[in-house]
Amino acid sequence: MRDVETRKEKLLQQYDRKMRPKAKLEGNIRWYSPMDEPFQIAGFAWFAQERKYRRLPTLPPGAVPEAVEHLANHTAGGQIRFQTDSTSISIRVKLTGKADMAHMPATGQCGVDCYVDSPDTIIPRKYGNTTIYDHTQTEYECAFFSNWTATMRNVCLSLPLYQGVEEISIGLDENATLLAAPSYVSDKKVIVYGTSITQGGCASRPGMMYTNILSRRIPLEFLNLGFSGNGKGEPEVAEIIAQIDNPACLVVDYEGNCVSTELFRQTLPEFIKIYREAHPLTPILIVSRIPYAREQLTPHLNEMRMERMQFEKELVKERREQGDLNIYFFEGSKSLGDDDFFESTVDGSHPTDLGFLRMANALEPVLKTLVL
C-alpha cells in the first residue's frame, strides 16, 4: 500500500497546476481539448503535422480511391491517453455523421469506450464504460464514471470505428490532477492494413476491435488502416503507408476485399515491393483471411480462399529464398477457433466481439515475437 502512495506522491510532485492546459470551467467540471498536452493522441500517423483525427494524410502524394479518402476520416484505432485522479470523466463528441450501418450497433460505429488501470501500467486493460447516447444525433455528451475515489488512474479512450470526429472535449473535476500517460516501450508503430474486419466491423464497441485488443497487450502504438470494402492493395496506398516513420511491423490482411484471385495476384507482390523499397528490414506479416461460415454450403468460397492462401504462402517463400528474411505468413483459417468458428461472426464473415477476441489471441504471440 505504501508503494502505491509513494508513486502517487511522486506523480503529484511533477504536477504544476499553473501549467494546466487551457480548459473551460462549467460548474465543477473543466473541459479540456485532448489536442493539448499532456494528453496523447495515438493511432493517427499524421496527427502531429495535421492535428486531425484522420488515418491518412489530408493531401496524399498521389491520388487515392474516393472511398478510401472518405474512410480515412473514420477514427478506427484512434486513442486518447492520459492520467488523472479525477473522480469523474466525461466526454463531448462532435461527429461528422450519424450511425447508419444496420448490422452494427451505434456504440461500435460512433461510440467511445474507456479503459482504466493503475499508473504503473503502460496500457490500461480494465474496461470502464462506453458512451450511451441518442444515435440519431451527431453531437453527444456522456459520463464514463462519476463519484469514484480520487485515485490516480491511467486512462485510454478508444475512438469510433465507423464515423469521423470533428471535435472532442474531456471533462474532469475542477481541481483534478492531469498527467501524461506512460510512454510506450519505443516509438515504433505496428501498422495493420486491411478490410472492414480490420476496421472493426462488427465490434459492439471500439475496444473490441482486434487491433485495439492487441494494443492493450503489446505496449506499442497501433495504426489501424482497415478500409471497409476498399482496402485492395492499391500502389498509391502502399506509397502512403511507406511514408510512416519508425514501423515496428506491417501486417497485410486485405485478401477479403479483392474481387478476384487474379486481382490479388497482381496487387500483393507490387504492394510488398513498394513497401520493401522504403523499409528493407521491417517485418512484414501476410495474413490469410478468416473462413466464411457458409463454406460448407458454398464450396467455391473455400476453393477461392485456399487458392489465395496458397499464393500467399508461395509469395512469402519466394521472397525469403531471394533473401528477404523479414517477411512471414500467418494462416488465418483457425483464428476464429475450430468447429464452432461460425458462432464468432455476425453474418458469416464479420466477427462478433468473441471473434475479434479469438483473432487477437491467435495473432498476439506472433506479433510479440516480431516487434518486442
pLDDT digits (tens, 9 = 90+) for 114-131: 999 999 999 999 999 999
Instruction: Report CA torsion sign: 327, 68, 160, 155.
Output: positive
Residues 6+ apart with CB under 8 A from 40: 80, 81, 82, 180, 181
Q: Which three cell numbers stand for residue 193?
A: 492494413
pLDDT digits (tens, 9 = 90+) for 159-215: 999 999 999 999 999 999 999 999 999 999 999 999 999 999 999 999 999 999 999
pLDDT digits (tens, 9 = 90+) for 47-96: 999 999 999 999 988 889 999 999 999 999 999 999 999 999 999 999 99
If we measure between CA atoms, which residue out of 207, 210, 201, 221 comes closest to residue 130? 207
Instruction: Report CA torsion sign: 171, 174, 177, 180.
Output: positive
E strand or H helix at 223, and its extent?
strand 221-226
What domains does the chain contain, in order, with CATH numbers?
2-51+78-179 (2.60.120.260), 189-371 (3.40.50.1110)
Q: How far is it, in rounded angstroms, from Cα 71 to Cα 57?
A: 12
Using pLDDT thresholds of 50, 70 and 90, give the confidence band for residue 294: confident
